[in-house]
Amino acid sequence: MKWTMRTSIALLLVFACGIAEARPVDADADFSAFLSRWREAIVANDAEAVAGMTQVPFLFEGEPRDRADVARTVVPALLTSDVRRCLHTAPPLREDDRYVLSCVPYLFYLGRIDGQWRWVEFAADGEG
């Protein structure tokens, strides 16, 4: 029984190490750098900087918005002071190939587009 238990533990460790190695370390560092810049722009209420980190066209109120519309319309509408405060510390949760941050009443999706991290969409938070 000890041999089986040791074998099981060894296989589990090998499997766990394989998972850790399969995940590119620089991808997490790249996302962390983006998230830091995005949060700085949000906390500063810098609509132009946020718009520059947003995938356009950005769908808002059923209409595709360009970068100027994101800065002028989307940022003030979605990023209220309470939401900005929440986004400053909200933990990013991995969801497939994206990260999501939850700040009532919205979910904010950050994804990689053409090799660059961007704010790609938002959704109403059904839990909120």
Low-confidence ranges of the chain (pLDDT < 50): 1-25
Q: pTM of the predicted model, to two decimals?
A: 0.77
**If we measure between CA atoms, which residue out of 115, 91, 37, 49 comes closest to residue 107?**
91
Q: What pLDDT sits at residue 37? A: 98
Chosen CATH of 26-124 out of 3.40.1360, 3.90.1720, 3.30.200, 3.10.450 = 3.10.450
**If we measure between CA atoms, which residue out of 96, 56, 60, 93 comes closest to residue 78?**
60
Do 105 and 128 touch, CB atoms closer than 8 A?
yes
Q: What angle do CA 87, 93, 95 make, to 5 degrees?
A: 125
10 Å CB burial of residue 107 (0-12, 13-18, 19+) is buried
